[in-house]
Structure 1
Amino acid sequence: MSFNSSAGGGQSSRTTYEFGRTHVIRPKGRHQATIIWLHDLGDKGSSWSQQLESLPLPNVKWICPTAPTRPVSLFGGFPCTAWFDAQDLSEDAPDDLQGLDASAAHVANLLSTEPANIKLGIGGFSMGAATALYSATCHIFGQYSNRNPYLVNLSCVIGLSGWLPCSRMLRNRIERSNETVSRAASLPILLCHGSGDDVVAYKHGENSARTLSSAGFQNLMFRSYGGLGHYTTQEEMDEVCRWLAARLGLQGS
């Protein structure tokens, strides 16, 4: 699927992003929630599908899209799958708003066709987690950075070993409306990070959680895992399952 993005209302610069294959894991029980899961830099949607399918969440439908293949500044312009361009994997890096908007819109489009009574969530690992958190900010503002409306009503967001893009913009804009503050306060967010992460440093996950909390995301849980590197463990995924079941009110089967 391709997506055209323009940097702003009157800008003429447009980029077309070609997203890769999307993998869908159907619920084994009664469908109660749909969660988009976003992979890491250089990965693809299918790599997470087996692990997600094995989780004890029979009421969840998982959708695993694949990011566009694009030049990435971090790799000297070498192309690989990436949700946005990154010079650095941290909340201090310059923000590729055009790429972030395109990926957040692609995710929102995938969720927009779900039934009205289904709870919707976005999760991800590393760069996928960053994109999920960016989607959370679009949700509370009701729009992307290019001012196009964000129409998906999110019920939860999960970020593993990630960081918050656009943290400066979030701090500057959060206090503008009561509706924004209310949405931020009510959106459940789970962030998990390993203290031994040598790809996205633990401090970036911790700082991102602190920024979100100070911006009004009151329903946020930050879990740290001693010694954990840039990967997931059974303990961490068990935490994700418990948190999702509780926050989304998932039934047995």
Structure 2
Amino acid sequence: MIEPAIIPASDKHTATLIFLHGLDDVGKTWLDEFNAFDIPKSIPYVKFIFPTASIMKISKNNGESMASWFDVYGFDQNAKEDQESIEKASQLLNSYVEEEIKNGISPERIIIGGFSMGGAVALHTALTSPHTLGGVLALSTWLPLLGTFPKALVAGDKKMNLPILHCHGNKDTIIHINWARLSEESFKGMGFKRYIFKEYDGMDHTNWNQEMKDILVFIEQSLPKQD
């Protein structure tokens, strides 16, 4: 297991963000991205954790080994899903959450998030976690195992106030915007009151300046500075 890339809080640590990368990537990519937009400087009380996935064989890529949170059979809503490895990834993300709670950060002061498959793990984790978290940052992603919700929702009504920022480009050629919109319909259908879907015109499977600005606003609103 590779150690996560971490940006410690430069002020009194009162909140944490845990963010998962996409397929065939490493945590440091996103550490550099958040640093490039000065996000940690703007919210110095937040600690940032960017884990790196283990190497596994990916069915979609003919069994090729790469860093991945779970096995993938295809990137569209009709593709078979590997429930076991998605749930295992959720347990791993939850273990990072538990570690932060052990260190004195309350669940409401922890945001989890991710890009692409990392975002899928974050959404699944937030909906099945025993904790009601501070928010979810879901970039260029989808809600996996749709059929298991709302049955799997833990902690009932409290989850309906979970702040979720779901960002997606309408020119995404890997995770098509229609799949993201299907997830949007599901969240609204389940009654999530603080779910926000932002669509970026012309954006492919990447991240944009405006999106990173929106992310900072979301973090500041969900994890406000404490005296």
Scaled by the length of structure 2, what TM-score is found? 0.90
Amino acid at match of 1:20: I
Asked if 1:37 corresponds to 2:19, the answer is yes
Matching residue of 2:197: 222
Superposition deviation, residue 46 in structure 1? 1.2
CA distance in 1, matches of 2:142, 2:118: 9
Asked if 1:138 corresponds to 2:124, the answer is no
Superposition deviation, residue 236 in structure 1? 0.3
Superposition map of 1:104-123 within 5 A? 104-114=90-100, 115-118=103-106, 119-123=109-113
* Paired residues of 1:91 and 1:164 also in contact (CA < 8 A): no
Asked if 1:26 corresponds to 2:14, the answer is no
Superposition deviation, residue 132 in structure 1? 0.6
Matching residue of 1:161: 140
* Paired residues of 2:163 and 2:222 also in contact (CA < 8 A): yes
Asked if 1:240 corresponds to 2:215, the answer is yes
CA distance in 1, matches of 2:105, 2:57: 39
* Paired residues of 1:163 and 1:208 also in contact (CA < 8 A): yes
CA distance in 2, matches of 1:240, 1:51: 12
Number of equivalenced pairs: 219
Asked if 1:75 corresponds to 2:61, the answer is yes
**Could you say what secondary structure the match of 2:217 adopts?**
helix
Matching residue of 1:204: 179
Matching residue of 1:88: 74
Seq. identity, %? 29
* Paired residues of 1:73 and 1:87 also in contact (CA < 8 A): yes
Report Cα offsets for 1:121-177 as digits up to 9, x if no partner.
1111011111111112212xx3xxxxxxxxx44111110000110111114x168x8
Matching residue of 1:48: 30
CA distance in 2, matches of 1:126, 1:107: 15
Superposition deviation, residue 99 in structure 1? 1.1
Runs of 4+ in 1 over 4 A off after TM superposition: none
* Paired residues of 1:24 and 1:61 also in contact (CA < 8 A): yes
RMSD, aligned α-carbons:
1.9
Matching residue of 1:194: 169
Report Cα offsets for 1:29-69 as digits up to 9, x if no partner.
22221111100000011111122233122221111111111
Scaled by the length of structure 1, what TM-score is found? 0.81
Amino acid at match of 1:132: A
CA distance in 2, matches of 1:80, 1:201: 22
